[in-house]
């Protein structure tokens, strides 16, 4: 009897153990399925950002963390246009950051260290890239980059950096070309931009296949000197700049912003500094300016990336249309586009206005070149109404 009871208890215990193990296996399998089923939607990325220690370690930490987030977004294909919205939250010195309504959901700071005058922050970042991000459903938009003038040329006397405006434009161009998701620079010009000469600005944009025109003014290059008796003087120099963006289709000013930073000026007061050299741009002052160009690029993304790209008809012949965007803008064979007639007019104040009239005409990309493409008109009987200057929008429901 005792033996039979013991056997029964053993069987019951064995059954319970198997039942418990089966539940654990089921839970594990369910967890694995959940992990892999969401793998295409969410990504954990571990990345190390870096920044030069300039003003303070706290500022360098924020800059390094921003750099880590930027790298993670670029790697996963997330919308970098959302980064400016997070900057105020990253100012807080925390180990964990949680967000809602953003592609970035969670940031966990794993390590922070300082070495060689730089701050390094390693973070684990949880990202949910959206398939409908603006840069994924729009073509890249062309930018015409103008010269950044010096508001007070005498402030450039220390170091003789009178060419800094031209070289700043080139560094901004490089930043946009290498890092922007929604824009590319189609040209650079020395022609001064003016909202009072909208006609000239629109012609300039058309000549360069640019949807927007960008320029600005460097407003502050002043320096403060801390005198020391037993060691070299410390020179900190300001860099402040205004950014102006005009719509190349209307000549209207659509975005303005200002930026300011300060950096250590490591050069002798009487030296002549070449702002084209790596020696200048790797200096603490040059790196603070480079950070401003990145902030400009991110703000341009945030402000304009979701505006529709507007390819333009440049030629129409026998049912085939040629447009002024191509492979570098993201055009692919088979893309569907909708035609809009461009109906510009002059208002009562003499200001040119651009008006788009919707049509029933659609076109399909048939052949793609580097900076242009050929499209087939899907309604051949309506092809005669298409004119050079008409605009197109990419169909988003493909």
Is residue 67 helix, strand or coil? helix
pLDDT digits (tens, 9 = 90+) for 281-295: 999 999 999 999 999
The pLDDT score that the predictor gives to residue 77 is 81
**Residue 244, C-beta contacts closer than 8 angstroms, at least 6 positions apart:** 193, 214, 215, 216, 253, 255, 256
Q: Residue 78: which of 99, 103, 53, 54 has the closest Cα? A: 103
Q: Residue 391: which of 350, 353, 361, 352 has the closest Cα? A: 361
* Residue 332 φ/ψ, nearest 5 degrees: -130, 155
Burial (CB count within 10 angstroms: exposed 0-12, middle 13-18, buried 19+), residue 380: exposed
pLDDT digits (tens, 9 = 90+) for 180-234: 999 999 999 998 888 888 888 989 999 999 999 999 999 999 998 876 655 567 8
Give me the residue label for tokens 């009178």.
162
Our CA angle for 46, 47, 48, nearest 5°, is 140
The pLDDT score that the predictor gives to residue 229 is 54
Range 291-296, long-range pairs (CB < 8 A, 24+ positions): 291/51, 291/63, 291/261, 292/239, 292/241, 292/259, 292/261, 293/168, 293/171, 293/172, 293/175, 294/70, 294/175, 294/179, 295/84, 295/259, 296/172, 296/175, 296/243, 296/257, 296/259
- Give the separation between CA 23 and CA 307, rounded to whole angstroms: 51
Q: Is 332 left (phi over 0), alpha (psi -120 to 50) or beta?
A: beta
pLDDT digits (tens, 9 = 90+) for 325-358: 999 999 999 999 999 997 766 667 666 666 788 8
**Residue 277, C-beta contacts closer than 8 angstroms, at least 6 positions apart:** none
The pLDDT score that the predictor gives to residue 330 is 94
258 neighbors 148 (Cβ within 8 angstroms)? no
pLDDT digits (tens, 9 = 90+) for 32-86: 232 333 344 567 889 999 888 877 888 889 999 999 998 888 888 888 888 888 8
- What tokens appear for 228 in the block? 């020391």
Percentage above 70 pLDDT, the chain: 84
């Amino acid at each position: 009897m005792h033996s039979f009871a013991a056997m029964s208890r053993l069987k019951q215990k064995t059954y319970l153990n198997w039942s418990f193990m089966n539940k654990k296996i089921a839970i594990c399998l369910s967890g694995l399925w959940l992990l892999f089923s969401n793998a295409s939607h969410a990504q954990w990325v571990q990345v190390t950002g870096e920044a030069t220690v300039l003003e303070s370690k706290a500022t360098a930490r924020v800059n390094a963390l921003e750099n880590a987030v930027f790298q993670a977004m670029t790697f996963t294909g997330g919308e970098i246009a959302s980064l400016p919205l997070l900057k105020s939250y990253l100012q807080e010195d925390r180990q964990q950051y949680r967000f809602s309504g953003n592609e970035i959901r969670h940031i966990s700071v794993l390590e922070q260290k300082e070495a060689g005058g730089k701050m390094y922050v390693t973070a684990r970042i949880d990202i949910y890239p959206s398939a409908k991000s603006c840069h994924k459903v729009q073509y890249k938009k062309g930018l015409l980059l103008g010269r950044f003038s010096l508001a007070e040329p005498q402030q450039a006397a220390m170091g003789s950096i009178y060419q800094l405006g031209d070289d700043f434009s080139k560094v901004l161009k490089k930043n946009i070309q290498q890092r922007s998701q929604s824009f590319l620079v189609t040209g650079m010009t020395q022609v001064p931009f003016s909202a009072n000469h909208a006609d000239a600005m629109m012609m300039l944009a058309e000549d360069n296949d640019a949807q927007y025109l960008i320029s600005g003014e460097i407003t502050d290059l002043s320096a403060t000197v801390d005198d020391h008796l037993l060691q070299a003087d410390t020179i900190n120099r300001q860099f402040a700049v205004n950014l102006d963006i005009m719509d190349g289709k209307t000549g209207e000013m659509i975005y303005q912003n200002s930026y300011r930073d300060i950096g250590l000026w490591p050069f002798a007061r009487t030296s002549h500094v070449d702002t084209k050299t790596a020696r200048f741009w790797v200096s603490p002052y040059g790196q603070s300016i480079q950070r401003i160009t990145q902030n400009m690029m991110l703000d341009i993304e945030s402000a304009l990336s979701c505006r529709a790209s507007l390819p333009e008809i440049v030629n129409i012949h026998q049912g085939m249309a040629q447009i002024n965007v191509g492979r570098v803008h993201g055009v692919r064979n088979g893309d569907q586009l909708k035609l809009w007639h461009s109906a510009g007019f002059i208002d009562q104040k003499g200001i040119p206005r651009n008006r788009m009239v919707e049509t029933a005409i659609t076109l399909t990309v048939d052949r793609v070149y580097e900076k242009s493409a050929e499209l087939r008109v899907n309604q051949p009987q309506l092809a005669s109404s298409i004119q050079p200057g008409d605009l197109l929008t990419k169909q988003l429901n493909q």
